[in-house]
Homo-oligomer: A and B are copies of this chain.
Amino acid sequence: SIIPGGQPENRATYIGKGVMTRFSVPEMKGFVAYDDYVLHYDRRTRNAHWVFEHLTRERVKASEEAKRDKSEFHEEPKVHPFFRSTNSDYKGSGYDRGHLAAAGNHRWSQQAMNQTFSLANISPQVGKGFNRDAWNTLEMFTRKLTKDFPDLYVVTGPLYLPRREDDGKVYIKYEVIGKNQIAVPTHYFKVIVMAGKSGGLELMSFVMPNQVLPANVDLRNYLVPLNTIERASGLVFFDSIPREMFTRVNAKEQIS
Report which A residues bind B (CB closer than 8 A). 1-4, 6, 8-11, 14-15, 19-20, 22-28, 30, 33-36, 38, 40, 42-45, 49-50, 52, 54, 56-59, 80, 82-83, 108, 112, 150-151, 153, 155, 160, 162, 169-177, 181, 183, 193, 195, 199, 227, 230-241
Contact = CB atoms under 8 A, between A and B. Distances in A.
Given A11-B33, A15-B33, A26 B83 contact: no
A1 to B, nearest CB: 6
A14 B34 CA distance: 9
A4 B82 contact: no
Contact of A4 (B20, B44, B54): B54
A82 B11 CA distance: 25
B54 A9 contact: yes
Contacts of A172: 172-174, 176, 183
A177 B43 CA distance: 24
A240 B58 CA distance: 45
Nearest to A233: B44
B58 A34 contact: no
Most buried by B among A25, A34, A57, A195: A25
Contact of A6 (B83, B151, B175): B151
Number of copies: 2
A236 B181 contact: no
B238 A24 contact: yes
Given A11-B35, A50-B26, A43 B83 contact: no
B171 A236 contact: no
Closest 10 A/B residue pairs (Cβ): A44-B234, A43-B234, A26-B235, A24-B240, A173-B173, A6-B56, A3-B195, A11-B33, A25-B52, A82-B231
A233 B80 CA distance: 13
Given A19-B153, A28-B49, A171-B176, 10 more contacts: A2-B241, A6-B56, A6-B58, A8-B112, A25-B155, A26-B40, A26-B49, A170-B181, A171-B173, A172-B172
A150 B234 CA distance: 39
Given A33-B11, A33-B14, A54-B19, A174 B176 contact: no
8 contacts: A3-B195, A11-B33, A25-B50, A25-B155, A28-B28, A28-B30, A83-B231, A162-B181
